[in-house]
């Protein structure tokens, strides 16, 4: 059985749980407390070379680190990763874009808001949101007249980009600016096997 080390509110961990559910794969979930410093403990550092979640340990004991790498590994040979070389490259481009342009720009303001630090971190939030709004507009321009990010069906590109974008409002982003994104987010939530960030809760919009 797979073993997934994750944290409760992480979008990077969430995207892996979504795919595991959509692939109907059983796994043991080990939820770490990042504030407490669980990822800095020697036992975990021996498993995850970058000392961060998500980390997926395969059935043979080998670990995979970084959410994009985990998604690629799990999706290999499934309908969630195209076999065509060009389409696979397009999927990779979205995984890179999400981590480079969206993830930190959305995650930092969200964390500050959740921790009640929005006022004291207003300057940092504004700095992050400037980049975030630029990236979201690029996503809107692409998805506005398409159903999915790559080709004609849902892939791990959609799962990867969905996670943090769907949480952007928690970081103060005005998502009503992006009707195409909002429609696409609902489409992702409607895919078979999709799971919410917190089990037992309704999808947030």
Polymer length of the chain: 205
| Contacts of the segment 32-37: beta carbons below 8 A, 24+ positions apart | 32/5, 32/6, 32/7, 33/7, 34/7, 34/10
Q: How is the chain split among helix, strand and coil, in percent rounded to 5?
A: 55, 10, 40
Using DSSP's 3-state secondary structure scheme, residue 72 falls into helix
Q: Where are the alpha helices (DSSP H) in 23-121?
A: 42-47, 67-75, 85-97, 104-114
Please tell me the predicted confidence (pLDDT) of residue 19. Answer: 98
In this structure, whether the domain defined by 2-75 belongs to CATH 3.40.30.10 is answered with yes
Instruction: Count other Cβ atoms within 10 Å, centred on residue 141.
Output: 11
Please tell me the predicted confidence (pLDDT) of residue 113. Answer: 93
d(CA 81, CA 153): 10
Please tell me the predicted confidence (pLDDT) of residue 203. Answer: 58
d(CA 121, CA 51): 26
Dihedral over alpha carbons 142, 159, 48, 107 (to 10 degrees): 60
Please tell me the predicted confidence (pLDDT) of residue 199. Answer: 79
The highest-level CATH class for domain 85-189 is mainly alpha
pLDDT in 10s for each residue of the chain, 205 residues = 999 999 999 999 999 999 999 999 999 999 999 989 999 999 999 999 999 999 999 999 999 999 999 999 999 999 999 999 999 999 999 999 999 999 999 999 999 999 999 899 999 999 999 999 999 999 999 999 999 999 999 999 999 999 999 999 999 999 999 999 999 999 999 999 999 999 766 555 5
d(CA 102, CA 161): 8
Secondary element (H or E) of residue 53: none
Domain ranges of the chain: 2-75, 85-189
Kindly state the tokens that stand for 165: 């974008």
pTM of the model: 0.94
């Amino acid at each position: 059985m797979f073993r997934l080390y994750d944290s409760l509110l992480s979008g990077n961990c969430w995207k892996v749980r979504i795919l595991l559910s959509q692939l109907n794969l059983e796994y043991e979930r080990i939820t770490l407390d990042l504030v407490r410093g669980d990822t800095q403990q020697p036992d975990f550092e021996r498993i995850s070379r970058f000392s961060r979640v998500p980390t997926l340990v395969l059935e043979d004991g080998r670990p995979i680190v970084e959410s994009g790498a985990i998604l690629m590994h799990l999706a290999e040979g499934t309908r969630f990763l195209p076999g065509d070389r060009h389409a696979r490259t397009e999927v990779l481009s979205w995984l890179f874009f999400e981590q480079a342009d969206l993830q930190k720009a959305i995650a930092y303001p969200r964390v500050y808001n959740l921790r009640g630090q929005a006022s004291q971190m207003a300057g940092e939030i504004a700095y992050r949101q400037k980049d975030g709004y630029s990236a979201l507009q690029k996503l809107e321009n692409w998805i506005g007249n398409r159903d999915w990010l790559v080709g004609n069906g849902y892939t791990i590109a959609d799962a990867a980009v969905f996670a943090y974008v769907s949480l952007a409002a928690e970081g103060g982003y005005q998502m009503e600016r992006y009707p195409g994104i909002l429609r696409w987010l609902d489409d992702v939530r409607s895919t078979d096997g999709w799971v919410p960030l917190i089990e037992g809760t309704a999808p947030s919009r």
